[in-house]
Amino acid sequence: MLSMEPLGLDSVMLDEVRAYLRVDADMDDSALAAAILAAIGHAEQFTRQTLLRRAGTEIVTAGSGWQVLQTLPVQAITNVTGIPADGATFALAASAWELKLSSQSEAYFRVLQPGSAGRVEISLVAGLATDWASLPESLRLGLLRLAGYFYNNRDSASDDGPPAAALALLQPWRRMRVV
C-alpha cells in the first residue's frame, strides 16, 4: 500500500500555468489550481513516477527477501516502523533493514530482523524534481499542456481525452514494470 502526501502549489507553478494559458492574474485561481493538480496526478499515473518531491509511506511484508518498492524515484528512507499482528507498532533500527537504490532510482528493500513485525511501514521521500522549476523542460511542457486541457475542458460535455501532444511529451518519462 502506497500513500503520498498531498501536493502543494507554489507561486512559480501557478504563474507559469497562468502565463501559458493566458489567464489574467488572480482570475480563476481555484480552477487553475484544480487543473494543475489534475495534470500532475494524471502524469504521475501515466509515468508511474512521483514527479515533485514529497514524503510518503509504503507498507510491505516483513519477509526476508528483496522487494521492489512501488514508489519511484525514491530519494531517501526516513523511518521504518514494524507492524505486528497484535500489539503496538515499533521503530526498526537501521541495522534491521537494508535498502539498495538502482541507477534508475528503484528502491530494493528487505527486512533483516523483523522482530514481531509481519509488515513494515516505510517512510520515504520520493520525486523526480525538488520543485516545479527544476522539472525537465519537456516534462513541464507536457504538464502545461495537460493543465490547459483540463482547464479549457472543465465544463465540456464532450471529452476526447488528453491531447496526444501532451502524452507524447510525457512518454519518455514513462516507467514500465514487469510483474
Please state the three-class secondary structure of the chain as a single string.
Answer: CEEECCCCCCHHHHHHHHHHHCCCCCCCHHHHHHHHHHHHHHHHHHHCCCCECEEEEEEEECCCCCEECCCCCEEEEEEEEEEECCCCCEECCHHHEEEEECCCCCEEEEECCCCCEEEEEEEEEECCECCHHHCCHHHHHHHHHHHHHHHHCCCCCCCCCCCHHHHHHHHHHCCCCCC
Domain ranges of the chain: 2-51+129-173, 54-126
More confident residue, 64 or 151: 151
pLDDT, one tens digit per residue, over 122-142 is: 999 999 999 999 999 999 999
Fold for the domain defined by 2-51+129-173: Hypothetical protein yqbg (1.10.3230)
Q: Quick one: pLDDT at residue 179? A: 56
Report whether pLDDT(98) > 70. yes
Architecture in CATH for domain 54-126: Sandwich (2.60)
Alpha carbons 23 and 46: distance in angstroms, whole number: 27
Mean pLDDT of 15-39: 88
Instruction: Tell me what the pLDDT averaged over the chain comes to.
Output: 91
The grid coordinates of residue 163 equal 491531447
Q: Please state the φ and ψ torsions of residue 82, each to the nearest 5 degrees.
A: -80, 140
Residues 6+ apart with CB under 8 A from 153: 159
**Residue 178 pLDDT level (bands cut at 50, 70, 90):** low
Q: What is the pLDDT of residues 29-68, one digit of tens each?
A: 888 999 999 999 999 999 999 999 999 999 999 987 999 9
pTM of the model: 0.87
* Whether residue 73 has a cis bond before it, omega within 30° of 0: yes
Task: Spell 33-60 as b/e; 16+ CB within 10 A means b.
Answer: bebbbbbbebbbebbebbbbbbebbbeb
CA distance 25 to 18: 7
Predicted confidence (pLDDT) per residue in 80-94, tens digit:
999 999 989 999 999
Q: What is the pLDDT of residues 100-120, one digit of tens each?
A: 988 877 899 999 999 999 999
